[in-house]
Amino acid sequence: MNAAPYTPAPVQPSRRVAFDVISAVSRDDAYANLLLPTLIRRQALNTADAGLATELTYGTLRMRGYYDRVIALAANRPVSDIDPDILDVLRLGAHQLLATRVAQHAAVNESVTLARSVGSRSAVGFTNGVLRTLSRSTPEEWKERVLATAKTTDDRLATEHAHPAWIVRAFRQALAAEGRTDELEDLLAADNAAPRVNLIALPGLASLPDDAERDTYSPFGFVLASGDPDTAIRHEAGRLRVQDEGSQIAALALTRARPIAEGERWLDLCAGPGGKTALLGAEAALSGAHLTANEVVPARAELVRRAVAPVPGDIPVTELDGTTIGEMQPESYDRILVDAPCTGLGALRRRPEARWRKTAKDVGDLTKLQQSLLLSAFAALKPGGVLAYVTCSPHLAETRSVVLDSLRRLGDGAELLDTAAVVQSVAREPIDLGDQQTERAGTTVQLWPHRHGTDAMFIALITKV
């Protein structure tokens, strides 16, 4: 009698989802925050399995650089010599063994099963051997071994906290501008902590739910004490939405910089995906102002249209090149938000793969675009109007340098406002902003995840004299 053919055990669904996201990020430059919810819905994961898939995905992506160092030691070969799919299996297994309460046998066995589904027979044995080697030592012992390979202080920090060394240096320089370099390790650690799901009740359109815990700073922000945020969002048809507290403060800094006159014209120059646009639109509806949104990428422009759908009034969404709007529409707007494309280094808590995707070389190209957008927006600003330059990055080249260089080019016609004072006036509680003074009169604001619990949002308010 012939034996039945061998059928390998299926991979547990939450681990399969996590692997598929991690692999897509590695292979196709996918965005985890967009793909993960889609796969969770497609696989109909229950709440517990969805939570596990989320922890495995984001935990592995955050600490990928550190896990690669551990894997290289355990495998006795550089990770560049390991098949990419098997390397992602090992990263996922390393996270379970070194940073979760998953039982060792479950972490190893599930990883071996996963390797069997994506790799060769020899790769299965290799995966089993590497992970069993990992399981024989404690996380503390592996950390000691990995850090012993670091050659410099920056290399040690980059290794331990899983940030590329160029980002470590950029963060140190940004903190040094405030005289706060002693906070560097706290900042790196904050990037590796899962953030709370922060929401906003759009002003004039929604009230805070009964079980809301109010944000420390934003007058409209909150987190839910319990329950699923998606349920509350669907019930309110977009009038409640997910938005980081720092993003809320950035938009409110523009609307609250000075009293609003009825009939003002506002422009959100780089509006996609539309979170700040919706808040600006709600503020405009309350004050009799008129908002236009612009987003050059058609797919993102469509996201903006969806984002502003719950806001009263007609908010037109154009798809123009933001660097030419100043020439096309000179002195046309009373307030302009320039939420400039940037490296995204301020949101590594939420988009951890960005740290491995961006390089120091990207900064130079972005700063040229950022300055072009700022100068174009300034040309489109009416005399006496206010412009908010915002980036979700603390990198000095993308923040103070862009602002100060633009001010030098604009000469006496532009003036940096006391942005710190405006932000303090918006906030529900005093904010520790450190030293925000620049070489010009006026101030800028840099928010931080470790100090404020927000993304690292930069804000500068400029007026046309």
- Distance (Å, whole) CA 63 – CA 61: 6
Buried b (16+ CB within 10 A) or exposed e, 334-358: bbbbbbbbbbbbbbbbbbbbbbbeb
- Distance (Å, whole) CA 15 – CA 7: 19
Residue 102 contacts residue 125 (beta carbons within 8 Å): no
Q: Residue 458: CA atoms inside 13 Å, Cβ hemisphere, count?
A: 29
- Distance (Å, whole) CA 298 – CA 312: 23
Chain mean position to CA 38: 19
- Distance (Å, whole) CA 160 – CA 235: 42
From residue 113, how far is each of 107, 130, 134, 187 by CA, in Å? Answer: 10, 14, 17, 37
Q: What is the DSSP string of 155-222?
A: HHHHHHHT--HHHHHHHHHHHHTTT-GGGHHHHHHHHTSPPP--EEE-TTT----TTEEE-SS-SSEE
Residue 57 contacts residue 67 (beta carbons within 8 Å): no
**Radius of gyration (C-alpha) of the chain in whole angstroms:** 24
Joined together, the tokens standing for residue 76 give 């006795």
- Nearest CA among 177, 213, 212 for reference residue 395: 177
Beta bridge partners of 445: 459
Catalytic residues, which ones?
Answer: 392
